[in-house]
Structure 1
Amino acid sequence: MSITGGATSARVLIRLSDDIPVDTPRTPAREAAERELSKPMYHENDPNLLQRALDRFWQWIGEFLDAASGVAPGGPLGLAVIVLVVVALLAALWWRLGTPRRTPGSAGSLFEEVPHSAAEHRATAEAHAAAERWNEAVQERMRAIVRSLEERALLDPRPSRTADEAASEAGRPLPAHAARLRAAAGEFDDVTYGGRTADRRTYLRLRELDLDLERTKPQLSTASGGTAE
């Protein structure tokens, strides 16, 4: 073949190669790959939604701690000290203030629907105390106190009466014990409605008050305006 003929043939081949695409366009290739990867066979072992959420949460915690340790004095060690100090302050505040007290007006009636005598409430209180169920022991002892005052006609029987109301009313014929009655009512309300936890000392205070009230003569108003003991 002559040089001229070879050059002509090369030009023809070059022109023909221009019509053949060398690279696949990006968009169709990406769409084809996405269709392929979206098939279920590729996702059988993927984590579920909850696992993905937990992974993202812990990732966020890690990023937050990394960022915090970067600005905290002393780096990670300084951050750990700061966290411990904050936890200690919160624990001290909780210990000092205790569980939030009940809000005014949240107290309910002192007694349950089934009436019991003072002696029955005392026996139940002692049984709870023997088992170290101090919350229940305090509640039953307060009920014994109020029921005893009703049995002595120092309080009118009223099922819907609250512990605060009973203490306030009983303080009039028993003024020497008015403050202790109010304190006992507050302790009853705290363990019943305020989420507080009673202990042996709390129960013994109510028990001693109950016994003292049994030995105390009331001060009753007379027609002349004086008092009789």
Structure 2
Amino acid sequence: MSGAPLRPFILWAPLEPPVTPDREEARRWATEELSKPQYPDARPSWLDQMWRDFLDWLTSLEGDGTGPGNTFGVPLIIALAVILIVVAIVVVRPRLNVRRKTSAADIYGDDSRVDADGYRKRAAVAADDGDWAAAVVEQFRAIVRSAEERDVIDARAGRTADEAAEELGRVFGGAQVLLDRVAHLFDAVRYGDQAASKAEFEATRQLDSDLQAMAPDYAGQTHEGFRVPR
């Protein structure tokens, strides 16, 4: 049997071009993303203003974004929408996580059964390891737990570091400034991942020692003798 050689039969189909959303579609994508519940609660005011300005700018554009004169405008709109979403995720989500973490736990965290001496031992162990951040956290917990054990303040769950400093300052008036400093340091270390120094730990431990030696003054009189860290 003769004839021309058979050529391989190749199946092929034209590839569909990628779909490029128009201006309204890009706007809808961005609106749906930023309308999620986690964003409005934590959105900074400047980001909110940026978003409103961006929507106003989209509205002010002429045409439907599909004409030949808008081949540059559509990709630009999409790029700006994507950038805005990324900024919202990068800026807002960490703040939201920190807020949730701060509100979900009190001073003692998950284990609130440790006594003051137990927290002091934990602080000493952390200090021996050079973990000054953990040492500061445990030493501040010892301060608050010691005050609860002495019935200087009531033992209650959910107390924040600032609240503890304020309550202790009412009966240890001369230590109010130091209590506020240590409370802010506690929050910065525990919730803000801030590093601590040996000097800051020593100041916190010294404050604990001074408060143990001081009788509470429920009449509101201030005490002298608290050392201000340098």
After TM superposition, the score normalised by the length of structure 2 is 0.51
Alpha carbons of structure 1 residues 212 and 104: separation in structure 2 relative to 1, 3 Å: farther
SS at match of 1:171: helix
Superimposed CA distance per residue, residues 176-224 of structure 1 (whole angstroms, 9 cap, x where no aligned partner): 0011011100000001111210111110010010011111111113xxx
CA RMSD in angstroms comes to: 2.9
**Who is 2:167 aligned against?**
169
**Who is 1:154 aligned against?**
152
Unaligned runs of 5+ in 2: 1-9, 13-94, 224-230
**Who is 1:192 aligned against?**
190
Superimposed CA distance per residue, residues 27-77 of structure 1 (whole angstroms, 9 cap, x where no aligned partner): xxxxxxxx9xx9xxxxxxxxxxxxxxxxxxxxxxxxxxxxxxxxxxxxxxx
CA contact (8 A) 1:220 1:228 kept: no
Quick one: which of 202, 205, 208 aligns to 2:206? 208
Give, in whole Å, the separation in 2 of the partners of 1:134 and 1:200.
Answer: 6
Quick one: which of 100, 125, 128 aligns to 1:127? 125
Give, in whole Å, the separation in 2 of the partners of 1:228 and 1:133.
Answer: 34
**Who is 1:183 aligned against?**
181
Alpha carbons of structure 1 residues 129 and 188: separation in structure 2 relative to 1, 3 Å: same
Higher deviation after alignment, 128-137 or 108-117: 108-117
Superimposed CA distance per residue, residues 109-155 of structure 1 (whole angstroms, 9 cap, x where no aligned partner): 10133411100000110010001011110110000000001111111
In the TM superposition, residue 227 of structure 1 has moved relative to its aligned partner by: 5.7
Alpha carbons of structure 1 residues 159 and 113: separation in structure 2 relative to 1, 3 Å: farther
CA contact (8 A) 1:110 1:161 kept: yes
Give, in whole Å, the separation in 2 of the partners of 1:190 and 1:228.
Answer: 28
Give, in whole Å, the separation in 1 of the partners of 2:185 and 2:216.
Answer: 24
Give, in whole Å, the separation in 2 of the partners of 1:191 and 1:120.
Answer: 20
The percentage of aligned residue pairs carrying the same residue is 35
Give, in whole Å, the separation in 2 of the partners of 1:228 and 1:144.
Answer: 22
4+ aligned runs moved over 2 Å, structure 1:
102-108, 226-229
**Who is 1:117 aligned against?**
115
Give, in whole Å, the separation in 1 of the partners of 2:114 and 2:131.
Answer: 20
Give, in whole Å, the separation in 2 of the partners of 1:176 and 1:228.
Answer: 5
Aligned pair count reads 132
Unaligned runs of 5+ in 1: 1-34, 39-99
Q: Equivalent residues in 2 for 1:1-229 (5 A)?
A: 106=102, 108-111=105-108, 112-221=110-219
Give, in whole Å, the separation in 1 of the partners of 2:192 and 2:182.
Answer: 14
Give, in whole Å, the separation in 2 of the partners of 1:174 and 1:228.
Answer: 6
